[in-house]
Amino acid sequence: MSEAEETQVKRRQYIASLRSRILAAFIIGAVLFALLMSSISYFTVRHFLITERQATVLRQAFTDAALMRSSINQGDASIRDQISAFDEVDGVHAFLLVGQKRYRSNPSASLSTIPLAMRKLVRQGNAATQTFLVKGEPTLGVGLRIASAQASFFISFSVADIARTLRALLLALIGVSVLLISGAAFAGLRAARRAVRPLAQVGEAASAIASGDLSARLAHSDDRDLAALTDSFNAMASELETRIVRDAAFNSNVAHELRSPLTTLSATVEILQGSSEQLSSEGREALELLSGDLNRFRKLIADLLELAADDERSGIRLEAVNAAQLVRKASEANLQQLDAELVIAEDLNERMMLADKRRVERIFANLIGNASSHADGLLSIEAKCLGDDFMEIAFIDRGPAIALQDRARIFDRFYRGSASGRRADSQGSGLGLALVSEHVAVHGGSVRLSIDARGGNCFTVMLPLEGVLPS
Partner 1 sequence: MLATPLLAPIDPRLTLASLIGEDGAMATVLLVEDDPRIRSAIALALEREGYATVGAVSGEEGIAKIGKVPIDIALVDLTLPGMDGLQACAEIRAISSIPIIIVTARQESDDVVAGLEAGADDYVTKPFVVKELAARIRALLRRAVSSAPDRHHLGELTLIPAEGALRHADGSEVHCTFTEFRLLSELVAHRGEVLSREHLLEHVWGYDYFGDSRIVDVHIRRLRTKVEPDAANPELIITVRGMGYKLEGP
Can you give the binding site for partner 1, defined by CB under 8 A? Answer: 252, 255-256, 259-268, 270-271, 274, 298, 301, 305, 309, 314-315, 317, 319-320, 325, 329-330, 333, 352, 357-358, 361, 470
Transcribe 324-376 into DSSP letters. Answer: HHHHHHHHHHHHTT---EEEE-GGGTTBEEEE-HHHHHHHHHHHHHHHHHHSS
d(Cα 209, Cα 442) in Å, to the nearest integer? 18
Q: Which residues contact 75 (CB under 8 A, 6 or more apart)?
A: none
Q: Smallest distance, Å, CB 463 to partner 1?
A: 16
Nearer to partner 1, 75 or 261 (CB): 261
* DSSP-based three-state secondary structure for 208: helix
Return the CA Rg of the chain. 49
Q: Smallest distance, Å, CB 459 to partner 1?
A: 21
Identify the CA nearest to 22 among candidates 179, 234, 194, 244: 194
d(Cα 107, Cα 98) in Å, to the nearest integer? 18
Spatial contact of 35 and 177, defined as CB atoms under 8 Å apart: yes
Spatial contact of 326 and 357, defined as CB atoms under 8 Å apart: yes
Q: Smallest distance, Å, CB 242 to partner 1?
A: 20
Nearer to partner 1, 170 or 244 (CB): 244
Spatial contact of 128 and 140, defined as CB atoms under 8 Å apart: no
Q: Smallest distance, Å, CB 372 to partner 1?
A: 20
Q: Cα–Cα distances in Å, from 79 out to 19, 105, 150?
A: 76, 10, 14
Nearer to partner 1, 19 or 259 (CB): 259
Nearer to partner 1, 170 or 305 (CB): 305
Q: What is the dihedral of CA 435, 438, 443, 445, to 10 degrees?
A: 110
Nearer to partner 1, 238 or 260 (CB): 260
d(Cα 298, Cα 306) in Å, to the nearest integer? 12
Q: Smallest distance, Å, CB 297 to partner 1?
A: 9
Q: Smallest distance, Å, CB 276 to partner 1?
A: 12
d(Cα 20, Cα 459) in Å, to the nearest integer? 48
Q: Smallest distance, Å, CB 390 to partner 1?
A: 19
d(Cα 41, Cα 215) in Å, to the nearest integer? 59
Q: Smallest distance, Å, CB 389 to partner 1?
A: 18
